[in-house]
């Protein structure tokens, strides 16, 4: 089964395609990205808004992703607004720098990434899958193997012996197996495999 990915984000499209590699599902980029107003106040709502927009346009099975970084010390500033943290004009690196600065004097640096995947097979068959990765925001921006906030996000279970924690952008193999998107995709693969095999 082939799904159109409802996004113009090339990084996400590539990552999601790799996460479904070797399965019965093929994730392809949309022939053309479309502008979608993400007006929901949660990731589930925004993922469905995007999936519905692409499904209506292309009349084919569609998958959309909405992800966010949730930081305990800044409960109202990221989440669904993660991509716009600090303003529309900032680069990803500038957002990371701003986040580190905002937490400069914070003791509680706990955070988690959350991903929601919305699959639309048909108008009556809509499925959601969630994945989370717990960690904390580091005091340094380290690593070049990820994107977005990966260089400042340190998963709780990603250690490097005596050197301590590592950022998500320092270990691409760990990210592909354990990220919030990988966990959501794993749940989706398991369910959808059973779904399409039903009598």
Contact 143, 168 (CB under 8 A): yes
Q: Determine if residue 138 is left, alpha or beta; phi over 0 gives left, psi from -120 to 50 gives alpha, anything else beta.
A: beta
Residue linked to tokens 């960690």: 135
CA distance to 22, 76, 117, 193, per residue, from 189 (Å): 11, 32, 11, 6
State yes or no: pLDDT of 134 exceeds 90: yes
Where are the strands (E) in the chain, listed by range?
Answer: 2-5, 26-29, 62-71, 110-122, 125-137, 153-155
Of the two residues 68 and 7, the one the predictor is more confident about is 68
> What total number of domains does the chain contain?
1
Domain extent at residue 151: 2-196
The 3-state DSSP class for residue 119 equals strand
Picking from 81-90, 108-117, 163-172, which range would have the lowest pLDDT averaged per residue?
163-172
Which pLDDT does position 184 carry in this prediction?
A: 96
Mode of pairing for the β-strands spanning 26-29 and 2-5: parallel
pTM: 0.90
Q: State the CATH number of the domain containing residue 157.
A: 3.90.950.10
Mode of pairing for the β-strands spanning 125-137 and 110-122: antiparallel
Residue linked to tokens 């969630």: 130
Nearest in space to 12 (alpha carbons), one of 189, 182, 188? 182
% of the chain surpassing 70 pLDDT: 96
The yes-or-no answer on residue 160 being catalytic is: no
Picking from 51-60, 63-72, 165-174, which range would have the lowest pLDDT averaged per residue?
165-174
What does the pLDDT look like over 146-187, one tens digit per residue? 789 999 999 998 876 445 678 999 988 899 899 999 999 999
Candidates 65, 66, 150, 171; catalytic one: 66
Spatial neighbors of 14 by CB under 8 A, at least 6 apart, are none
């Amino acid at each position: 089964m082939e799904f159109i990915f409802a996004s113009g984000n090339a990084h996400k499209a590539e990552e999601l395609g790799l996460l479904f590699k070797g399965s019965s599902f093929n994730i392809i980029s949309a022939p053309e990205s479309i502008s979608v107003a993400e007006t929901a106040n949660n990731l589930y709502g925004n993922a469905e808004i995007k999936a519905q927009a692409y499904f209506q346009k292309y009349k084919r099975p569609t998958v959309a992703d909405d992800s966010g970084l949730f930081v305990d010390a800044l409960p109202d500033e990221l989440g669904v607004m993660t991509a716009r943290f600090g303003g529309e004009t900032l680069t990803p690196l500038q957002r990371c720098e701003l986040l580190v600065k905002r937490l400069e004097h914070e003791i509680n640096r706990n955070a988690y990434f959350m991903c929601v995947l919305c699959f639309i097979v048909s108008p009556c068959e809509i499925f959601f899958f969630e994945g989370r990765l717990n960690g904390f925001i580091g005091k340094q921006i380290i690593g070049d193997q990820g994107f977005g906030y990966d260089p400042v996000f340190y998963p709780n279970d990603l250690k490097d012996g005596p050197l301590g924690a590592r950022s998500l952008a320092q270990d691409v193999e760990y990210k592909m197996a354990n990220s919030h998107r990988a966990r959501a995709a794993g749940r989706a693969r398991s369910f959808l495999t059973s779904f399409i095999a039903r009598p």
